[in-house]
Amino acid sequence: MLPLLEGIRVVEVGAVVLGPYAGQILADLGAEVIKVEPLEGDIARNAYPSGTGGGALFVNNNRNKRMLALDLKAPEGRAALARLIGTADVLFHNMRVDAAERLGLGFEAVAAINPRIVHCAAIGFGQRGPYRDRPAFDDIIQAASGIAGLATATGGGPRFVPTILADKVAALHAVYGILAALVARANGREGAIQVEVPMFEALAAFLLNEHLAGATFATDGAVGYPRLLSPDRRPFRTADGWIAVLPYTDRQWRAFLAEIGREDVITQDWFADPRQRQARIGELYALVAAALPARATADWIAALEVRDVPCSKVSGIGDLLTDPHLTEIGFFDVPAGYPDGIVRALPQPVRYDGVETTSDTAPRELGADSRMVLAECGFSAEEIDALFASGAVSG
């Protein structure tokens, strides 16, 4: 954990991945993140597979946080949350807009409680367009944004990227949106700031960064970045497995073609012209595919690294657990204080030199900090007891 955001209090009303992942990043950077959960807990707590500390999805997205359990359907629970919001710098949620409004978490309601709050809502679709009220899950956003349809451009059928892509991309947008708003406030901007992070728009922008292509310049321009959409761009078979090889620059293509004994291609007139070479990228990839089965993966990597041609073996998910680079840097090291049953943890991957770090704290039990957080918000011991007795709070 890093002390970069010390003194910043974030109230996260988040569930599953999007909200918790963004909240964890802010907590890793030193913000005090108070996770508000329903009395039954974030559903990720019990998601398969589970072990010490709950579901792996919960464990990997909720370190370094304090835990408060409230029934936001009860007036007492909403009143307690309002008191907490009054002490916060940031309110962040990933609820549907209508649900947030009903619970008093809309921008206007929150700004009325705390006129200097940064209010961040991570939602499915931007509120200015006709999709505003649609429900959104990762698969839905992958489909709507064009991500799932990318495979059709290379001759396959639509398919989802097998990771929770939309949630995590939107979470990263939420983090920089919150940080930018905090910087603006620190520089003297007055009043509450509303940050809207729509998953659909975030993933569409992510995809079209390169694939807007010709449509950038003319309404009839072709979309799609040709090199990426070539059906020949893929991991290639070797004698004993798979490898990714990417000659990209003129020098790299020359080095690779020399390695496979195809100097004759280098002498072709079209090869020296980057535009013509790009237009014939399928032919070049076909040469790669034809050559690679002749040797084992390790032999290719050794030869291509000497020539400085970008390459990598194709790792399976399980291979990462023993990857020599990740092992050397202690990527999966479990911080001191984690329960014994957790044998691997994930780090904050961004490094900051010259900043002293402290050990991460493991995800805590549901409502573990309820009493302390309420006390810090000004509730007396009697009021806290009454909240617990009413069933509006647990811990």
Tell whether 242 and 145 lie within a shared domain: no
> Are 28 and 147 members of one domain?
yes
Q: Could you tell me if 92 and 13 are in contact, meaning their C-beta atoms sit under 8 angstroms apart?
A: yes
Does residue 173 form part of some domain? yes
Burial class (CB in 10 A: 0-12, 13-18, 19+), 178: buried
Q: How far apart are CA 194 and CA 100, in angstroms?
A: 14
pLDDT digits (tens, 9 = 90+) for 122-171: 999 999 999 999 999 999 999 999 999 999 988 889 999 999 999 999 99
- For residues 27 and 171, what is the distance between their CA atoms, to the nearest angstrom? 13
Residue 223, domain member (yes or no)? no
Residues 119 and 203 in one domain: yes
Nearby residues of 393 by Cβ (< 8 Å), 6 or more positions away: 68, 69, 70, 71, 76, 77, 80, 367, 370, 374, 384, 387
Claim to verify: residue 57 and residue 200 sit in the same structural domain? yes
* CB contact at 8 A, 52 and 342: yes
Radius of gyration of the chain (CA): 25
Residue at 228 is within a domain: no
> Could you tell me if 161 and 284 lie in one domain?
no
Domain boundary among 313, 345, 365: 313
Calpha distance 14→92 (Å, rounded): 7
Based on the fold, state whether residues 143 and 58 are members of the same structural domain: yes
Domain of residue 13 covers 9-207+331-394
**Residue 344 belongs to domain with CATH number:** 3.40.50.10540
Query: Is residue 212 included in any domain, yes or no?
Result: no
CATH code of 248's domain: 3.30.1540.10
Q: Which residue has the tokens 């040797």?
A: 295
Identify the pLDDT of residue 91.
98
Assess whether 259 and 189 both reside in one domain.
no
What is the count of structural domains for the chain? 2
192 shares a domain with 257? no
The pLDDT score that the predictor gives to residue 359 is 93
Q: Are 76 and 116 within one domain?
A: yes
321 within a domain of the structure (yes/no): no
N residues, the chain: 395
Residue 246 φ/ψ region, left for φ over 0, alpha for ψ in the -120 to 50 degree band, beta for the rest: beta
The pLDDT assigned to 226 comes to: 85
CA distance linking residue 156 with residue 152, whole number of Å:
5
Indicate whether 169 and 55 sit together in one domain.
yes
Residue 389 lies in a domain: yes
Task: Say yes or no: 291 and 375 in one domain.
Answer: no
Per-residue confidence of the chain (395 residues) as pLDDT tens digits? 999 999 999 999 999 999 999 999 999 999 999 999 999 999 999 999 999 999 999 999 999 999 999 999 999 999 999 999 999 999 999 999 999 999 999 999 999 999 999 999 999 999 999 999 999 999 999 999 999 999 998 888 999 999 999 999 999 999 999 999 999 999 999 999 999 999 999 999 999 999 999 999 987 789 999 888 888 889 999 999 999 999 999 999 999 999 999 999 999 999 999 889 988 988 999 999 999 999 999 999 999 999 999 999 999 999 999 999 999 999 999 999 999 999 999 999 999 999 999 999 999 999 999 999 999 999 999 999 999 999 999 99
Whether 107 and 119 have beta carbons less than 8 Å apart is answered as yes
Average pLDDT for the chain = 96
Ordered alpha helix ranges (H), 146-270:
165-186, 199-211, 226-229, 250-259, 263-266
Distance separating alpha carbons of residues 40 and 170, to the nearest angstrom: 26
In this prediction, residue 218 carries a pLDDT of 82
256, 278, 313 - which closes a domain: 313
pLDDT confidence of residue 278: 85
Instruction: Give bridge partners of residue 68 from the DSSP assignment.
Output: 36
Q: Element (H or E) spanning 301, and its range?
A: helix 297-306
Domain membership of residue 153 (yes or no) is yes
51 and 120: one domain? yes
Residue 71 lies in a domain: yes
In whole angstroms, how far apart are CA 369 and each of 70, 102, 365, 393? 11, 25, 9, 11
Question: Which residues are CB-neighbours of 180 under 8 A, at least 6 positions away?
Answer: none
Q: How far is CA 337 from CA 2, 342, 387, 392, in A?
A: 17, 10, 31, 30
pLDDT at position 175 is 98
Residue with tokens 């004759």: 264
Residue 54 bridge partners (DSSP): 51
Domain boundary among 313, 346, 373: 313
What is the rounded CA–CA span in Å between residue 137 and residue 25?
A: 21
